[in-house]
């Protein structure tokens, strides 16, 4: 399916709105869309650095007026919901339903479709968002992404300071390069209607990794011996609270390591959407080693 393009609408160049455009994934998507024959609009709460060919809208997804303005004339939307509660998304979904663009939603591979409640709040909000979008008749293209390799950037300060990365452990999973997820997202945003597949598309990396495995790969890329030191959940909670993080966020971050089950699932969905297999975390570490030096 790679290489296809969203058809022109009424003779004009199609337009794509990217939410969360300043995040690790959002930036990658915007960079790729800039090379395609589409108009790119970004919506973010943070200041967006000016880029040629990119229109920026600063505001909050929970503000209907901001969303309505950002959606004007848009043909497709990459949606990333940033909150731990889906209730504030109801106005957003209503605006999407009124504007009726194609919606590509970035969700989580940790969703279990067979259970009523998900393992932790982060996974639950993704499941709730999928339900909201479908109940509104939007029929989103759902990309369920595994753990992004870019999450490792959170260890940069520790790696620069020493040879031990400390943190709560989490069940092993098929860590996926955010660049691969970005390529898949662009493919889904630009499909013509005859090729549209709603999914969910389950995007994984090519191997199952623990956090210790990831830290070791970072060490290899840096020519150092790095170790991962598992911090008990209670200690991790107290440290995050002491750092000033909101309690509801801390509880969600702790719930994931404690409750989320290990996943041994590896799929070919990245290759189906992009035409090439996903990259390894080892290569991601090599490509981003300078960020940890």
Quote the pLDDT of residue 125. 97
Quote the pLDDT of residue 193. 61
Helix intervals (H) in 41-200: 64-71, 90-99, 121-135, 156-161, 178-190
> Considering the domain boundaries, does residue 1 fall inside one?
no
- Rounded to 5°, angle at Cα 171 from 209 and 218: 35
Per-residue model confidence as pLDDT tens digits over 236-276: 999 999 999 999 899 998 988 888 888 899 999 999 999 99
Quote the pLDDT of residue 6. 61
Question: In the chain, how many domains are there?
Answer: 1
Quote the pLDDT of residue 195. 58
pLDDT(64) > 70: yes
Residue 219 neighbours by CB distance under 10 Å? 19
Q: What is the DSSP letter of 9?
A: B
Cα gap 243→232, rounded to integer Å: 17
Residue 232: exposure state from Cβ atoms within 10 A (0-12, 13-18, ≥19): exposed
Quote the pLDDT of residue 3. 46
Identify which has the larger pLDDT, 145 or 7: 145
Structure pTM?
0.92
> Considering the domain boundaries, does residue 215 fall inside one?
no
Residue 7 neighbours by CB distance under 10 Å? 12
> Considering the domain boundaries, does residue 52 fall inside one?
yes
> Considering the domain boundaries, does residue 8 fall inside one?
no
Cα gap 266→154, rounded to integer Å: 24
> Considering the domain boundaries, does residue 219 fall inside one?
no
Closest to 78 (Cα-Cα) out of 128, 135, 10, 32: 32
Quote the pLDDT of residue 282. 98
Helix (H) or strand (E) holding 220: helix 211-222
Q: What is the DSSP letter of 34?
A: T
Helix (H) or strand (E) holding 105: strand 102-108
Range of the domain at 271: 15-146+178-203+265-278
pLDDT(5) > 80: no
Helix (H, G, I), strand (E, B) or coil at 178: helix
- If you average pLDDT over every residue of the chain, what do you get? 92
List the CATH number of the domain containing 63.
3.40.50.720
Record the tokens describing residue 86, joined without a space: 């889906």
Identify which has the larger pLDDT, 11 or 215: 215
Quote the pLDDT of residue 257. 84
Quote the pLDDT of residue 194. 55
**C-beta of residue 88 within 8 angstroms of C-beta of residue 129:** no
**Strand 102-108 and strand 141-145: pairing?**
parallel
Share of the chain above pLDDT 90, in %: 81
> Considering the domain boundaries, does residue 95 fall inside one?
yes
pLDDT band at 42 (very low <50, low <70, confident <90, very high): very high
Q: Which residue in the block uniquely carries the two structure tokens 């209907």?
A: 64
> Considering the domain boundaries, does residue 245 fall inside one?
no
Per-residue model confidence as pLDDT tens digits over 93-141: 999 999 999 999 999 999 999 999 999 999 999 999 999 999 999 999 9
Q: For residue 200, is the peptide bond before it cis, meaning its omega torsion is within 30 degrees of 0?
A: yes
Record the tokens describing residue 109, joined without a space: 């591979």
> Considering the domain boundaries, does residue 227 fall inside one?
no
Provide the b/e sequence for 102-131 (b: ≥16 CB within 10 Å).
bbbbbbbbbbeeeeeebbbbbbbbbbbbbe
């Amino acid at each position: 399916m790679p290489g296809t393009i969203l058809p022109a609408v009424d003779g004009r160049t199609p337009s794509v709105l990217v939410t969360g455009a300043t995040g690790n994934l959002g930036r990658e998507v915007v960079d790729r869309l800039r090379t395609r024959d589409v108009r790119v609009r970004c919506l973010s709460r943070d200041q967006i650095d000016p880029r040629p060919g990119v229109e920026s809208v600063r505001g909050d997804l929970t503000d209907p007026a901001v969303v309505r303005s950002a959606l004007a004339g848009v043909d497709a939307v990459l949606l990333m919901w940033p909150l731990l509660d889906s209730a504030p998304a109801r106005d957003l979904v209503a605006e999407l339903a009124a504007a009726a663009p194609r919606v590509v939603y970035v969700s989580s591979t940790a969703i279990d479709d067979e259970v009523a409640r998900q393992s932790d709040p982060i996974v639950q909000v993704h499941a709730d968002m999928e339900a909201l979008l479908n109940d509104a008749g939007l029929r989103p293209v759902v990309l369920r992404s595994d753990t992004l390799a870019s999450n490792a950037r959170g260890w940069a300060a520790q790696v620069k300071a020493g040879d031990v990365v400390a943190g709560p452990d989490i069940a092993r999973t098929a860590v996926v390069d955010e660049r691969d997820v970005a390529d898949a997202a662009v493919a889904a945003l630009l499909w013509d209607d005859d090729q549209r597949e709603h999914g969910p598309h389950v995007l994984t990396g090519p191997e199952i990794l623990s956090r210790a495995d990831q830290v070791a790969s970072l060490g290899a890329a840096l020519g150092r011996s790095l170790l991962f030191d598992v911090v008990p959940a209670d200690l991790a909670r107290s440290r995050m609270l002491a750092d000033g993080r909101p309690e509801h966020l801390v509880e969600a971050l702790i719930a994931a390591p404690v409750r989320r089950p290990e996943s041994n699932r590896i799929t070919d969905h990245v290759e189906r959407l992009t035409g090439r297999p996903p990259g390894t975390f080892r290569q991601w570490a090599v490509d981003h080693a300078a960020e940890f030096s």
